[in-house]
Amino acid sequence: MTRPQVVPHRVVLGVAGGIAAYKAVELLRQLTESGHDVTVVPTASALLFVGEPTWAALSGHPARTSVWDDVHEVPHVRIGQSADLVVVAPATADLLAKAAHGLADDLLTNTLLTARCPVVFAPAMHTEMWEHAATQANVATLRERGCIVIEPASGRLTGADSGKGRLPEPTEIADVCRRLLARSGLLDLVGRRVIVSAGGTREHLDPVRFLGNRSSGKQGYALARTAQARGAEVVLVAANVSLPDPAGVKVVQVTSALELRDAVLAESGSSDAVVMAAAVADYRPAERLDTKRKKTDTLQVDLVQNPDVLADLVAARSAGQVLVGFAAETGDAAGSVLEHGQAKLARKGCDLLVVNEVGESGHPTGFEGEQNAAVVLAGDGTSYDVPLGSKDALADIVWDLVAARLTPTLGPTKASLDS
């Protein structure tokens, strides 16, 4: 049986003149190995870091910088018009400024003006340049227009300097691109600010021991990644998660339930939606010892109840804010998984509750796994069955339901980008 031919997406990889240009070679490899047709458009200064033969050999297309090359093909218009996605990595402070102000003095900046597809910028520069008011104003302008500007990573920069401004890893940038292409460029969360919690809290008994759970944070991280790829500004409050930070997402690290509550409430006031995917401990030790508890024949630990973070969010919610809870349940003599979920939704008062059955290690929808299945209960009495699949797939369904409940804005959509 002959398989249907897959039509590759047409991707433009813009490369600005920064030392991180060498990392764009790996991004090009990942995009081409995913089956996409990639045209590299470097700036003249980018070629001082990585030469044209490298880009041409890996992409299968010539890499031009000037609008005067192949003039008969009108490349300064054609390349942008025909693209399904434009990604600029690295995007220097100079390139961001030109893009924000509509300057077009080479092939890449002309391409950015003619593109009617999603545009992703992956900035890379020194911390002082990233934090400068001019750069931040340019980033805000680009985001307002519907472009995705990925937050730079923190780490080692050129020379001995370290700080925020490092290019996110090529794998993370490629994931953002693949998600955009898979959704045909629909950016339904542009202009939205969302908060996601992930992982499992730890309640310390002493400096060594703690009460905790097996949550890996994978579902919460999937929610953060998919929201970012749909155009949202994302804050991820992560409790004891050993996963790489998603590109373009602000990550706030916490340990305990009290720390998570404080972080989520501090970020939630100006957010459009909060998704509480973290497994938050219901109880904590009444006393935390400063020294290790010694082994004895018996051990008695008094516990006190932690605050109900979701209930606190409901009580403090702003107008139009959408709140989503997660409920990992097991059935028992008092009721089924779904019955427990329905009761929890009624108690919490949130808009949506994602209910999934959990069990011991190896359970297909349990903690630490790569897949999930759920029933999403809504406050209006409707419910949505999500079959077993990837955690990314569940995340997209959650955001579909959230987006449908958000107050409409005048922000850019795919339709406005295509106009």
Q: Which residues are catalytic?
A: 213
In 3D space, the residue among 331, 406, 407, 312 whose CA is nearest the CA of residue 375 turns out to be 331
Cα–Cα distance for residue pair 24/15, rounded to 1 Å? 7
Residue with tokens 């403090």, as numbered in its chain: 316
Cβ-contact 355, 336 below 8 angstroms: no
Collect all residues with Cβ–Cβ distance below 8 Å to 246 and sequence separation of at least 6: 172, 221, 224, 225, 228, 234, 236
Cα–Cα distance for residue pair 364/373, rounded to 1 Å? 8
Positive or negative, the CA dihedral 312, 315, 321, 325 is positive
Q: What token pair was written down for 64?
A: 């031009």
Pairing of strands 37-42, 283-285: unpaired
Residue with tokens 């939606």, as numbered in its chain: 273
Cα–Cα distance for residue pair 10/4, rounded to 1 Å? 19
Burial of 85 (0-12, 13-18, 19+ CB in 10 A): buried
Peptide bond into 364 cis (omega under 30): no
Q: What token pair was written down for 112?
A: 């950015």
Taking only Cα atoms into account, the Rg of the chain, rounded to an integer number of angstroms, comes to 24
